[in-house]
Amino acid sequence: DAGITQSPRHKVTETGTPVTLRCHQTENHRYMYWYRQDPGHGLRLIHYSYGVKDTDKGEVSDGYSVSRSKTEDFLLTLESATSSQTSVYFCAISESGGRSYEQYFGPGTRLTVT
Amino acid sequence: AQKITQTQPGMFVQEKEAVTLDCTYDTSDPSYGLFWYKQPSSGEMIFLIYQGSYDQQNATEGRYSLNFQKARKSANLVISASQLGDSAMYFCAMREGLDNQGGKLIFGQGTELSVKP
C-alpha cells in the first residue's frame, strides 16, 4: 500500500471556523491532489499540486486553499467552513511514468460542518 | 467538455457469475487514460485497472478486464467469477492528456454492485 496518511480522520466543526486538513506521503511522489466525495457526485477535484509550491485549482476550488511547502505534505484549508463543505475529503498522489499517473488514495477525512 | 457517465446506480449479480459495469466518456483529446476504482463500505479507494487511449489491447488484471471500445467511447469493467467481497461502489475515471501537471481525474458517479450468495 502507498504510504499516504490523512489527518484528522474525522472532524466536526462549526460554520465560520477555519479548518486545515493534512495529507502526508512517504512515497516522494511529485503530484498530490485533494478531492471531495459527495453522494451523487462521485469524486471531484478541489486543488492539486505538481511540485513544491506549485499548485492549481480543480473543478470545485471555491472556498478552499492549499499549500505545499514540502514534497511530503499537502494541506487543504477551508478559510471559513460552511455547511456545504460537509463531505468526505480524499488526498491522492501520483508519479509520472508507470501506469500513466495512476493515483493512490489516502483513507479519507470525514468533515462535518454544523 | 470532458465527462464520465455511469448509467447504472446499482446492480446485483449472483456469486460466481460475471458482471459488466458500464462507463462512457466524452473527450476531444486524443490522448487520455481510463481508470476503474473500487470503494468498499470501509471507504478506501482501491485502484483496479487502467487503459490508455493508444493501447491496442484491452487491459486485464486478474478477474478484472476492461472492454475498451474507442469508437463508441466506452470503457466497461468486466468482473469475472464474482465474489462476495466484490460488493462495493465502483468508479470509472478519466485523465486527459499527458502534461507536467500530472493526471487530474474526472470521476463518474459510481455504480453500487451487490453480490448475492
B chain contacts of residue A33, beta-carbon cutoff 8 Å? 102, 104-105
Distance CA B77, CA B110 (A): 12
The per-residue pLDDT string of chain B (117 residues; one tens digit each, 9 = 90 and over) reads 679 999 999 999 999 999 999 999 999 888 888 999 999 999 999 999 999 888 889 999 999 999 999 999 999 999 999 999 999 999 999 987 655 556 788 999 999 999 999
> Looking at the predicted structure, is the pLDDT value of residue A98 above 80?
no
Please give the pLDDT value at position B18.
Answer: 97
Cell numbers found for residue B12: 446485483
> Looking at the predicted structure, is the pLDDT value of residue A31 above 80?
yes
**Phi and psi, residue B33, nearest 5°:** -135, 150
Instruction: Specify the DSSP class assigned to residue B87.
Output: -
- Spatial CA neighbour of A76 closest among A40, A23, A31: A23
Closest residue on chain B to A107 (Cα): B44
Please give the pLDDT value at position A2.
Answer: 64
Please give the pLDDT value at position A1.
Answer: 58
Of the candidates A48, A58, A100, which has its C-beta nearest B52's C-beta? A100
- Spatial CA neighbour of B19 closest among B94, B65, B60, B79: B79
Q: Judge whether B102 is closer than 8 Å to chain A, CB to CB.
A: yes
- Spatial CA neighbour of B1 closest among B74, B111, B106: B106
A chain contacts of residue B33, beta-carbon cutoff 8 Å? 100-101
Of the candidates A35, A44, A101, which has its C-beta nearest B102's C-beta? A101
Distances (CA, A) of B59 to A56, A76, B65, B67, B75: 31, 35, 6, 8, 10
pLDDT digits (tens, 9 = 90+) for A37-63: 998 778 999 999 988 989 989 989 999
